[in-house]
Structure 1
């Protein structure tokens, strides 16, 4: 029976797992219920080894093939965490946790990898070992980094690693991928502008940090328009502007900004960090104040490896009949840490005409399940064909 047909048979079961996860979202590393359910299911499938607590709340399952002449080990990774968003879908299985929601489809990723693990445990039609990786805290917590620092790759002797993300706007079950830089480095910055507060009726007696900060917000946009090569990608966004006063008639003592810088190369990352510092301190000095800048390098550029990308695309074509070239994505993805540690590839699978990820009306499309599960299973069977 073709792999995809088997997952069509399993679709209702996998859908039930997914909807249960959707009802009970957990944020960052607090994926205790989710991790427990994943471990229980892997145990019921008959995995050869199950390890919990990697990267705090990560779960790893080991499935051995019928033979191991190749000695090869392939890792398959899914993320488990939800987002701090109030759900607005109105679904029967909507989130039961106020202020938490699976708004990025990690419930679907986890369910699909569980489906692939069930199939691979049943058939074992491969020569080598597969390691299924269930990761917490993709949404800003760096769970991929935590798992790697916890010895994931070395402990399980992983040779290659593969990941997948659903993509609204693409036809259901269709695939897209690109070699090299794919998702952006996503860094964080904070700036505190210090002035001299006072009465709003006497601005001449103050050094107004709101003017400094307002000028800086505008000036930061010149990093993209006047500092970066137009063919390079950089996005600098100020996302929070907070003063030390909430009164109508008080010029505050300080203003605090937060934001992100997203880039596709180390050179552009260096440029963004340097110019954010120079612009903010320079603007502050111009108005007689000061600025303290903190820049945190968070997720690195997620770059697919060429050979593994070609292979992943071939598998996608065998599953769905085609595989498009994906666009560059300026969002961050902490699978980047795993691709820095081992060769591998990350692919997009179409979620259909749905709300965008991170939207309160988003929902993972369960019709994606057969294609997504099949891609993971065939990555294993085609990369490590049975001896």
Structure 2
């Protein structure tokens, strides 16, 4: 069992350097270069440009591997298009871009796990380390899979970890089945007929009026069409129509965008179908065209039971029974690690990151990754890899 982290200060410096120079999805060129340089310094074998800017490294154990045991550990690398207001010394130096989700910390913890497994390589099997680009809704997980992730690198089981400010430091959130929701982006365009808001409103087909009606109807879908024991969310998050300087101008169009989240696919299908019916009914009533586009960004992230058992065993052994958060519930956030869990059994784990100095949530402009949890992440990742290999070798 790996329990001691000797190079924590070096890893913190690396994490804060990544934080200072964030890059958006599929543009993580400098981030990938820094990770590759770290791997080269360690003498670790790796392949770059997987699914764009992704990297896959590996450490092969010195023990007998006649059962071809292998396991993958995944971390994401990309940042978000936000202006940082955290006030920390290592704040983003790239305007309009910041690590507001902790992917800088995830990549750092994965590097730490590599270093410790390389130094303690008397295991039987191969550990693959997947540095994924473009997690934030732009398809990095799919891109790596489409680039042959699981064919080029024979991974039998895969684990991922995400810092979770809603959990206190020292706690782990984990459950069988769905742990995070599916995530759709939808866009609606109402094509009305504009005109003078004072002279001839009766000659117009007001898209703002229709948008208001659509919003009201859409926001009743979940409360009246979805089983309350099957969580789902529909949120219209932005609307644009007309100009604030055109106080007497009815615009031709109104556009909206929003998201649908669901824990199970049946609930997601019901919400999607109901939103389409709402648009169709208003289109028919007002004799206009309403365009609805639904883009499925993420599947539900579904943990496999045996992998959850393995992860729980590692948490108990390394951190104690109290480290497991009791009665943990799924999150309505989404994660494209879900696509990897479709391809291979595995589990996704939430790592507590909240304390008195880290109170801002994920995707906040004031967020900063909690460096104190780096040892927790490294210890979990390294030991869950060893536990997975032991399980495969014993099977």
Q: TM-score range by the shorter chain?
A: over 0.9
1:375 and 2:373 aligned:
no
- State the shift of 1:218 in Å: 1.2
- Shift in CA distance, 242/265, structure 1 to aligned 2, threshold 3 Å: same
1:70 touches 1:384 (CA, 8 Å); kept in 2? no
Q: Which runs of no fewer than 5 residues in structure 1 stay unpaired?
A: none
Deviations 1:146-172 (A, max 9, x none): 101111011111100000000113221
Tell me the residue number matched to 1:285: 284
Q: Secondary structure at the match of 1:166?
A: strand
Aligned counterpart, 1:183:
180
Shift of 1:350: 0.7
Q: Distance in 2 between matches of 1:174 and 1:357?
A: 17
Corresponding residue for 1:88?
85
Residue 338 of structure 1 is aligned with which of 328, 333, 340?
Answer: 340
Higher mean alpha-carbon deviation, 148-157 vs 37-46, is at 37-46
8 Å Cα contact 1:18-1:107 kept in structure 2:
yes
| TM-score, structure 2 normalization | 0.94
The reply to whether residue 363 of structure 1 matches residue 363 of structure 2 is no
Contact 1:45 1:122 in 2 (8 A): no
Work out whether 1:98 is the aligned partner of 2:95.
yes
RMSD of aligned alpha carbons: 1.5
Deviations 1:221-244 (A, max 9, x none): 111011111211111111121125
Q: Are residue 62 (structure 1) and residue 58 (structure 2) matched?
A: yes
Is the CA contact 2:80–2:97 (under 8 Å) kept in the aligned structure 1?
yes
The answer to whether 1:215 aligns with 2:217 is no
| Deviation at residue 245 of structure 1 after TM alignment | 4.8
The C-alpha deviation readout for 1:117-157, integer Å capped at 9, x for no partner, is 01111221311000000001111112111101111011111
> Deviation of residue 326 (structure 1)?
2.7
Contact 2:24 2:97 in 1 (8 A): yes
Distance 1:270 1:29 in 2: 30
TM-score (norm 1): 0.96
Deviation, structure 1 residue 69: 2.9
Cα distance in 2 for residues equivalent to 1:171 and 1:195? 50
How many Å separate the matches in 1 of 2:140 and 2:37?
Answer: 21
1:248-293 alpha-carbon deviations (Å, 9 max, x no partner): 1111111111111111111112111111111022123333433121
Residues 5-58 of structure 1, C-alpha deviations (whole Å, 9 max, x = no match): 2x1x221111111111111111111000110111111122122x3100111000
The corresponding residue for 1:328 is: 330
Cα distance in structure 2, aligned partners of 1:56 and 1:106: 17
Please point out which of 41, 48, 53 is paired with 1:52.
Answer: 48
8 Å CA contact 1:189–1:295 kept in 2: the answer is yes
Query: In structure 2, how many angstroms separate the alpha carbons of the residues matched to 1:265 and 1:149?
Result: 24
CA distance, structure 2, for counterparts of residue 365 and residue 230 of structure 1: 35
Asked if the contact 1:22/1:94 (under 8 Å) is kept, the reply is yes
Please, which of 241, 245, 253 is the counterpart of residue 243 of structure 1? 241
CA contact (8 A) 2:160 2:348 kept: yes
- Aligned match of 1:159: 156
Preserved contact between residue 190 and residue 211 of structure 2 (Cα < 8 Å): yes
Which stretches of structure 1, 4 residues or more, deviate above 4 A after TM superposition? none
Provide the aligned length of Structure 1 versus Structure 2.
383
CA contact (8 A) 2:242 2:249 kept: no
CA distance in 2, matches of 1:104, 1:13: 21
Alignment of 1:132-171 (within 5 A): 132-171=129-168
**Which residues of 2 match residues 28-43 of structure 1 at below 5 A?**
28-43=25-40
Q: Within the alignment, does 1:198 sit opposite 2:203 as a pair?
A: no
**What residue in structure 1 maps to residue 389 of structure 2?**
384
Distance 1:239 1:352 in 2: 27
